[in-house]
Chain A
Amino acid sequence: MSEPNKQSAQMSAQPIRMPGGRGPRNMMQQVEKPKEGKKTLGRLIRYFQKEKKLVIGLLVVVVVQVLCSVYAPNLQSKAIDRITEGEFDLLSKVLISMLIVYAIAGLATLFQSLLSAHLSQRMVKRMREDLFGKIVNLPIKYLDSHPHGDIMSRMTNDVENISNTVSQSLSSLVSGVLTIIGTVAMMVWHCWQLAILSCVTVVLTVFATKFLSGKMRTFFRKRQVLLGSLNGTVEEMVTGYKTVVAYNHQDEVIQEFEDTSDQLTKVGIIAEIFGGSMGPVMNVINNIGFVIIAAFGGYFAINGMISIGVISAFIVYAKQFGRPINEIAQLYGQIQTAIAGAERVFAIMDEPEEDKGGSKDMEKAKGVISFRNVNFSYVPGKQVLYDFDLDIYAGHKVALVGATGSGKTTVVNLLMRFYDIDSGEILIDGVNIKDIDCNELRRNTAIVLQDTVLFSDTIRSNLKYSNPQASDEAMIEAAKMSNSHTMITRLAKGYDTELTESGQNLSQGQRQLLSIGRAFLADPKILILDEATSSVDTRTEKHIQDAMVRLMKDRTSVIIAHRLSTIQDADFIVVMDQGRIVETGNHEELIEKKGRYYELYMTQFAGNAI
């Protein structure tokens, strides 16, 4: 029963949540393992490749910065030595070189931040554009069968994640690795025994990080799940507030919310405590390292194995060395998460795009539509249309009627090539629609859908969406034809009224009128109305129909409606039932027949519904 095409969710009420959103996506937010880490990393690197100059520049700057930061402490201790030794005249020389090194370091830091900012933003911009370009060209089938929230989250959370990782961690990763290598090299060069002893700190750090982050991960993940469900509750209940009130369900809803909120708080506190203990623990470990070096260094010095200067150097190195190890341990998780995000982004990019059809145009098309033995199913095994055979003549107004789920909307989906048929063919003026340029096909066919889609823009832009070149006069004419002109002029800003997201400042019926106006303005060869007037009263509908007759003279229109009044003066009525055509003919013929249509008609007019 549930046709995927019904899933073209309304524009309304799906506010975008930034980080900390809901859904399984975020559940995994805290460090998740990518499935094909290497492959994805490779693709991600290819994104970097296009910014080669920036990357190289960044690397150079980072190297300079690391060199400075390794060298500066040396100078500082040299200066102190000068003071200790009382060589005050040499002091200013050292101080001047210190100033120079600091200046270079400062410049390097500046360029590093600037370069990585540009790098990350350029990458993100490209990635977003690539992804958006892809999504726009995906077949409807993909969008119908994937939760929109999930697609949105890839676009926002995942891309954002990659961006943050690139801008923050790339340079700290590089500088961290370089610092470690440099420091280790210096340490080994000075005294390998002490160097090995310093590694105790590393081992401790790694263990502590592993233990703590393991704990953290569990709780952060739990917290993320709870946060997701909390946000979900809030969103659902606030959007569905009217129902909540109508059923006096406030107390139950509050209870549910508070339970989740309490749980979230509990888990959140534990997670944060673990997270917060990372710093102090590392502090202790670093100090242990310091004592080890001082003690063993002192011992070695007393035994004459090393000079005292080496010890003080080692102390500086040990300090220098602890920080990047800490950082890298934490970066590791962040990078993994980013790669997992990239994997999801690439998964969309790898989806096959919509088939854009052949190259035939429709310039001289009259609008003769033929369905030949069309079979179709959204999901394999659940056929929706069976041997659908139908000829629609140019200039005719054809109506499709039938119960919910009988396959009416499917016919529209196929005609617009939102979906491709399983077998048979659909022809327009004798040309298979697969051979027609898809854009050409759609440009000549205007549709008004069951679920009204309007954009958060002015009414003017929404109307002209179908035909940006249209003059204001043509627009007003179309608005008049769709009976929306009076209503628009009654708004304070008229045609320049901004529609809010999902167009909530208009009633359902008014929104339908606007989308009909939009279709009229397109001046199409084929017009399809799919339950387009369901929320419009019948008199207004009648006016629109009269206008349509004028507009669509010599052109083809297909109308789907529950209300028989909508379709009575159609040239040809097709009655559908469970994917099959059961009756065809015009109103009089079908009434005459006393078949299915007659039955429907009687329930509606002669019947006694209430």
Chain B
Amino acid sequence: MFRYLKKYWVFALLAPLFMIGEVLMDLVQPRLMSTIIDEGVLGLSNQGVGDLKLIIVTGLQMIGLVAIGGTCGVLCGVFTNLCSQNFGNDMRKAAFRKIMALSFEQTDQFSTGSLITRVTNDITQIQNMVSQCIRGFVRNIMLFAGGIASMMLLDISFGVVVACALPFLVICVAFFLAKVTPLFRVLQKKLDRVNSVMQENVAGSRVVKAYVKEEYEKKRFGDANEDLVGTQLRILTLSAYMTPVMNIVLNLSVVAVIYIGGIRVEQGDVTPGSVMAAITYLSQILHSVMMFAMVFQTISRGTASYRRVKEVMDCVPVIADGEAAMMSGEAATVNAEAALADEKAGPTHGKAPRKGPKGAAGGRVEFRNVSFAYPGSSGEAVLNHVNLTIEPGETLAILGATGSGKSSLVNLIPRFYDVTEGQVLVDGVDVKDWKLTELRDTVAIALQKSELFSTTIRKNLLWGDSEATEEELEKAAKDAQAAEFIHAKSEGYDTMVAEKGMSLSGGQKQRLSITRALLKNAKILIFDDSTSALDLKTEAKLYEALRTHYKDVTKIMIAQRIASVKGANRIAVLDNGNIVACDSHENLMKSCEIYQDIYRSQLKAGTEVSADE
């Protein structure tokens, strides 16, 4: 944490300095005020005749000092904010950068929701903590120490009162904090619960209505709500007791000071003015104790948040560039620089090397004895000793039951996860030895769940290739069978994709994400069941386009429909993490029982087809 603060040490130092200025002025002020009253208005040393001149002179002095104090206060705020917010900004950026470098098994472990809170809320909490530490902490210590010192200077006996009151107050505060702090955590949980019931009902309204569960849901919500309100009430009640108890301690001390002060005045050791001043200091001291409680709360919340953020920061990405790639990585940087220089010379030059599958013959994928289990799962293998080679330009289809490991298999190619055993090779090089960015540039994948971002259709598609021309865009969209519906939109490519692509149908989303993948112009193209929402005709057209326009690209398709996979060079049939067969449709029909079974399940009767054919 101090690493991030170091950069702003000047601010962190200046802020408390100005704070000292502000507090000093605050401490001087009561004294001037009492001079005005005692001498100016009451004329104590002048037989009760006030001195107007003194009032105005001291008054102006006081306003001046307060103005200086105020300026100090504002400046302190300026520096505190410069420090804490810049610090927060750095930390937020670092955290986000880190998240963007995590491997999937890590993001899976954290869960997306928690990662989001860590970058947003938690960082804000830490930021608050820093600003509270700089400002609140320093200010209260000063007020506290200054107050006690001033009071002792007035008369030692007043110190005794403070000494008696303080422990009470500290115990009260500690008790309160100990009670309330855990409750806040409970409160957050209950709040999440209420929100999640709410969210489920809004998003799942069709199911709620279809099963006539309105009353049940109302009750479910009512319970969660009741729970939340109960906890909230407990916190509020505790706080309700807190304030009066504190006040009573404070007021008792005031009474005690007056009483003792009275005795001391009678003895002639103290003046009445100092009794008044003592009261002011007393309330200052006790207030600062209460403020400490708040500062403490912010700090404890901040440290909890810090721990959560640190957890992310300390994560070392499990999947990182391979060592063998390090050298070629340097070469790549040189290349990139060269490309950059080219770009300056002329856009067409700069783009040329990026276009077209790099290295005409590349795109070979090989699985060597691959086994895989999801990290953090109970260890049950999803894939068992898979051996499979896909040649450049080949079309391989993968077929298999739900949960047979199809997605897991293709996820290993761009190294979203690491194999538990065996090797995955792309163009003869173990993916672990590839530079990650290059590996992923080589592979284009259209995911099962098409993830689109809330920006224009064009910008979404350009993720595939940020420098694509209008023609390239149009061509890819046409191949993906998306051009037609995009043009049907009034704003065409500039139509906004609403949050989570809600304004698009499932099939449209899939076609957009396919367009994006095509635009990437990679050597290996993977469709992870990404045509499931397309109707048959559209799907057929898409495959036709793939066959003619992407001849050299290695195509790996996960699908459910035999029709989708029939034309593939080979079809791998996956069952329980094993490849049971891998051959052409015709051969599989002859030899593979499972395949025949799948085939039959998609037809009413096998004979009918042959009749038709």
Query: Which of A16, A135, A147, A445 is the one whose CB lies under 8 Å from B210?
Result: A445
B612 neighbours in A (Cβ, 8 Å): 591, 602, 605-606
Q: Does B272 contact A84, Cβ atoms closer than 8 Å?
A: yes
Q: B74 interface residue, CB < 8 Å from A? A: yes
Q: Are A280 and B74 in contact (CB-based, < 8 A)?
A: yes
Which A residues touch B604, using CB under 8 A?
A: 568-569, 587
B536-574 contacts to A, CB under 8 A, are 536-540, 543, 546-547, 557, 560-568
Q: Which of B59, B89, B502, B608 contacts A7 (CB 8 A)?
A: B502
A604 touches B73 (CB 8 A): no
Given A404-B505, A539-B401, also A9-B203 (CB < 8 A) = yes
Q: Is the CB of A102 within 8 A of B213?
A: no
Q: Give A280 to B203 CA distance when docked, in angstroms.
A: 48
- Cβ of A534 and Cβ of B533 under 8 Å apart? yes
Once the chains bind, are B560 and A563 in contact (CB under 8 Å)?
Answer: yes
Proximity string of chain A (256-278) to chain B, C-beta cutoff 8 Å, 1 when within and 0 when not: 01100110110011001100110
Asked if A537 meets B402 with Cβ closer than 8 Å, knowing A83-B275, A240-B453, the reply is yes
Q: What distance in Å separates the Cβ of A573 from its nearest Cβ neighbour in chain B?
A: 11
| Contact (Cβ within 8 A) B602 A250 | no
Flag the segment in A43-51, A194-202, A506-514 that touches B: A506-514
Contact B543 A610 (CB under 8 A): yes
User: In whole angstroms, what is the CA distance A283 to B201 when docked?
Assistant: 50
Contact A606 B613 (CB under 8 A): yes
CB nearest neighbor in A for B56: A295
CB distance from B502 to the nearest CB of A (A): 5
- A337 interface residue, CB < 8 Å from B? no
Of B233-241, B297-305, B360-368, B469-477, the stretch lying at the interface with chain A is: B233-241
Q: Which of A126-134, A375-383, A422-430 contacts B (4 or more CB under 8 A)?
A: A126-134
Query: Contacts of B594 on A, CB cut-off 8 Å?
Result: 539
Give min CB distance, A515 to chain B, whole Å. 8
A609 touches B241 (CB 8 A): no
Most buried by B among A124, A287, A402, A513: A287
- Which residues of chain A come closer than 8 Å to B456, judged between CB atoms? none
Taken together as a complex, chains A and B put the C-alpha atoms of A243 and B48 apart, in Å, by 84
CA of A140 to CA of B205, assembled, Å: 7
Interface pair B210/A136, CB less than 8 Å apart: no
Give how many A residues have a beta carbon under 8 Å from the other chain's beta carbons. Answer: 181
Q: Are the CB atoms of A9 and B440 closer together than 8 Å?
A: no
**Which of A106, A242, A279 is close to B244, meaning CB atoms less than 8 Å apart?**
A106
Q: How far, in whole Å, are A252 and B560 apart by their CA atoms in the complex?
A: 35
Please state if B66 and A133 are interface contacts (CB–CB under 8 Å): no
Interface bin, chain B: 35 or more
Q: A294-B59, A605-B562 are in contact. Are A272 and B202 (CB under 8 A)?
A: no
By a CB distance below 8 angstroms, the chain B residues around A91 are 258-259, 262
Q: Is A206 an interface residue (CB 8 A)?
A: no
Residues of A within 8 A of B561 (CB): 538, 563, 565, 604, 609
Check: A562 CB closer than 8 A to any chain B CB.
Answer: yes
Q: A63 on the interface (CB 8 Å rule)?
A: no
**A248-B205 in contact (CB<8A):** no
Q: Is the CB of A232 within 8 A of B248?
A: no
- Pair B77/A18 contact, Cβ less than 8 Å: no
Complex partner residue of B603 from A17, A242, A277, A565, CB under 8 angstroms: A565
Docked-complex contact B557 and A610, CB < 8 angstroms: yes
Contacting pair A403 B218 (CB below 8 A): no
Which of B29, B397, B463, B602 is in CB contact (< 8 Å) with A563? Answer: B602
B149 located at the interface, meaning its Cβ lies under 8 Å from any Cβ of chain A in the complex = no
Query: Interface digits, B589-613 against A, CB 8 Å rule (1 contact, 0 not)?
Result: 0000010011001111000110011
Interface string of B33-68 (1 = CB under 8 A from A): 100110011100000111110011001101100110
Task: Tell me the residues in window 202-233 of chain B with beta carbons closer than 8 Å to chain A beta carbons.
Answer: 202-214, 216-218, 221-222, 225-226, 229, 232-233
Sample (7) of A-B pairs whose CB atoms are under 8 Å apart: A2-B508, A79-B258, A106-B248, A114-B237, A261-B93, A302-B52, A446-B211
Taking A7-B502, A246-B447, A257-B93 as known contacts, 12 extra A-B pairs with beta carbons closer than 8 A to each other, sorted by chain A number, are A79-B258, A243-B513, A246-B443, A276-B80, A277-B70, A283-B69, A294-B37, A295-B52, A298-B52, A402-B535, A508-B449, A537-B401
